[in-house]
Structure 1
Amino acid sequence: MTHPLATRRFTALAAATVTATALLLTACGAGEQDSTDTKTSGGTSTAADRAGTAQAKKDVAAWAAAPQWPDVPKLGKKVDLKGKRFTYVALGDQVPVIHGVGVGVQQALSAAGATVETCDGKFNPTSIASCLKTAGDEKADGVITSFIDYQMAGPAFDQLAHQGVKVIVGGVAPSGGKKNDANLAFYDNTPRVFALHEAMAESAVAQLGDSAKVVWAKLMDSTTTRTASAKGIAKFRELCPGCQIDSVEFTTVNLDKLGLAISAALLKNPDTNAVIVPVDTMVPSVLQGIQSAGKAGRVKVFSSSSDLAGLQRVKDGRQASDLGTPVLYEGWRFAHAMMQLLAGDDVSKGDQLVTRDFTGDNVGSLTLTPQKYLSDDWFGGSGYRAKFLTAWGLK
Structure 2
Amino acid sequence: MTPPLSTRRFTALAAASVTALLLTACGAGEQGSKDTNTSGGTSTSAGGAADRAGTGEAKKDVAAWADAPQWPDVPKLSKKVDLKGKRFTYVALGDQVPVIHGIGVGVQQALSAAGAKVDTCDGKFNPTSVASCLKTAGDEKVDGVITSFVDYQMAGPAFDQLARKGVKVVVGGVAPSGGRTSDATLAFYDNTPRVFALHEAMAKSAIAQLGDSAKVVWAKLMDSTTTKSASAKGIAKFKELCPGCQIESVEFTTVTLDKLGLAISAALLANPDTNAIVVPVDTMVPSALQGIQSAGKAGKVKVFSSSSDLAGLQRVKDGRQASDLGTPVLYEGWRFAHAMMQLLAGDEVSKGDQLVTRDFTKDNVGRLTLTPQKYLTDDWFGGSGYRDTFLSAWGLK
Q: Please indicate the TM-score interval, normalised by the length of the shorter structure.
A: over 0.9
Q: Distance in 2 between matches of 1:279 and 1:245?
A: 19
Q: Distance in 2 between matches of 1:37 and 1:149?
A: 34
Corresponding position of 1:4: none
SS of the aligned residue for 1:54 comes to helix
Q: Please state how far the C-alpha of 1:37 moved relative to its aligned partner.
A: 4.5
Corresponding position of 1:76: 78
Corresponding position of 1:232: 234
Q: Distance in 1 between matches of 2:16 and 2:162?
A: 24
Corresponding position of 2:100: 98
Corresponding position of 1:50: 52
Which one is further off, 10-19 or 273-282? 10-19
Corresponding position of 2:128: 126
Q: Please state how far the C-alpha of 1:24 moved relative to its aligned partner.
A: 4.9
Q: Which structure 2 residue ranges, 5 or more long, are not aligned?
A: none
Amino acid across the alignment from 1:206: A
Amino acid across the alignment from 1:384: Y
Q: Distance in 2 between matches of 1:257 and 1:244?
A: 23
Q: Please state how far the C-alpha of 1:41 moved relative to its aligned partner.
A: 2.2
Corresponding position of 1:272: 274
Corresponding position of 1:12: 9
Q: How many residue pairs end up in the alignment?
A: 388
Which one is further off, 13-22 or 167-176? 13-22
Q: Please state how far the C-alpha of 1:152 moved relative to its aligned partner.
A: 1.1
Q: Distance in 2 between matches of 1:286 and 1:42?
A: 25
Corresponding position of 1:41: 42
Q: Distance in 2 between matches of 1:375 and 1:246?
A: 37
- Residues 22 and 278 in structure 1, CA contact (< 8 A), matched pair in contact too: no
1:324 to 2:326 alignment: yes
- Out of 215, 218, 227, the residue aligned to residue 217 of structure 2 is 215
Q: Distance in 2 between matches of 1:15 and 1:193?
A: 17
Q: Please state how far the C-alpha of 1:165 moved relative to its aligned partner.
A: 0.2
SS of the aligned residue for 1:34 comes to strand
Corresponding position of 1:3: none
- Residues 105 and 332 in structure 1, CA contact (< 8 A), matched pair in contact too: yes
Amino acid across the alignment from 2:59: K
Q: Which runs of 4+ in 1 moved over 6 A?
A: none
SS of the aligned residue for 1:364 comes to helix
1:261 to 2:263 alignment: yes
TM-score, normalization by structure 2: 0.96
**CA deviations over 1:10-33 (Å, ceiling 9, x no partner):** 343234313431245521111x11
SS of the aligned residue for 1:257 comes to helix
Q: Distance in 2 between matches of 1:8 and 1:270?
A: 41
SS of the aligned residue for 2:367 comes to coil
Amino acid across the alignment from 1:21: V
Q: Distance in 2 between matches of 1:42 and 1:80?
A: 60
Q: Distance in 2 between matches of 1:293 and 1:93?
A: 35
- Residues 43 and 212 in structure 2, CA contact (< 8 A), matched pair in contact too: no
- Residues 311 and 368 in structure 1, CA contact (< 8 A), matched pair in contact too: yes
Q: Distance in 1 between matches of 2:193 and 2:357?
A: 14
Q: Distance in 1 between matches of 2:182 and 2:12?
A: 23
Q: Which structure 1 residue ranges, 5 or more long, are not aligned?
A: 1-6
Amino acid across the alignment from 1:77: K
Give the alignment's Cα RMSD to 1 decimal: 1.2
Where does 1:156-305 land on structure 2 (aligned, <5 Å)? 156-305=158-307
Give percent identity, aligned residues only: 82
